[in-house]
Amino acid sequence: MFSQPDLIALAITLKLAFITTVILLLLGTPFAWWLSRTRWRYKFILEAIVALPLVLPPTVLGFYLLIMLGPNGPVGGLMDAIGGRPLAFTFTGLVIGSVIYSMPFVVQPLQNAFTSIGQRPLEVAATLRASPLDRFFTVTIPLARQGFLTAAVLGFAHTLGEFGVVLMIGGNIPGETQVVSIAIYDHVESLEYVQAHWLSGGLLLLSFLMLIAVYALNRRFRPIQL
């Protein structure tokens, strides 16, 4: 079964995925909304940046983050200047890395959901006395619920499976930055195949269940055309 350190790694992984998902939903919602509405001609550049983690090797992303967050990097230097400690090899650093790494999995479903709602329901709401903020909460969010569910589950599941970025900026500190994927790697390195099986199987099952949930919900909330 799971050893004590494995359970800690699992807890850190779930905590990381949860915090990352919450941050991404909070930041991603206004950003995806803006992307879906703006007529700014260079918006495609931002869309490309959001999509970068999809194609970039995680080590590349992790490398640049390490440079940025390390004591000699701009962010690390800033932290140093204000009396904090550098973010590399900390849980906070992991969260920052995960937020960037999983960004497309949250922003893209939200942007698609907002785009597919179109302008009309919001115009209707405007003629029914709803202010812009009121319209967002009472029309946009309920109509985009499918996008929110997809975004949340994909963001969470993708963070669970993170390896390269974590390895680069989180290191492998048990109890602080050691996540399941890295613990599995360690077990295999030390030929502890039983532990590796348990952790791998657990992650496989969890990921599969979450994807099942996404696809089942997508089927139930088929977009309604009126």
Partner 1 sequence: MIEAKFKIKRDDFSLHADLCIPAHDVTAIFGPSGCGKTTLLRSIAGLDQHRQGYLKFRDSNWQDSDNFVPPHHRPLGYVFQEASLFAHLNVRDNLNYGFKRTPQSAQTIKLEQAVELLGLEHLLTRKPTNLSGGERQRVAIARALAVSPQLLLMDEPLTALDQTSKQEILAYLESLHNQLDIPIIYVSHSADEVARLADHLVLLEEGRVKASGSIGEMLTRLDLPLAQGNDAEALIEATVVEHDEEYKLTYMEFSGGRFTVAHKNLSIGKTARLRVLARDVSITLEHQNDTSILNIFPAIVEEINEDGISQVTVKLLVGGVPMLSRVTRKSASVLGLKPGKQVYAQAKSVALLA
**Footprint on this chain of partner 1 (rule: CB under 8 A):** 120-121, 123-131, 134, 138-139, 142-143, 145, 224, 226
Pick between residue 85 and residue 145 the one whose CB is nearest to partner 1: 145
Q: Check the CA dihedral 41-44-47-52 and report its sign.
A: negative
Minimum CB–partner distance for residue 215 and partner 1 (Å)? 21
121/171 with CB nearer partner 1: 121
CB of 130 to partner 1, least distance (A): 6
> Is residue 44 packed enough to be buried (19+ CB in 10 Å), middle (13-18) or exposed (0-12)?
exposed
103-141: b or e for each residue (b if 16 or more CB lie within 10 Å)? bbbbbbbbbbbbeebeeeebeebeeeebeeeebbeebbe
CA distance 103 to 16: 14
Given CA atoms 167, 172, 174, 176 in this order, what sign does their dihedral have? negative
Q: CB-wise, 121 or 174, nearer to partner 1?
A: 121
Closest separation between CB of residue 220 and partner 1, Å?
13
Instruction: Give me the least distance between CB of 29 and partner 1, in Å please.
Output: 17
User: Which CB atom, from 191 or from 226, has the smaller least distance to partner 1?
Assistant: 226
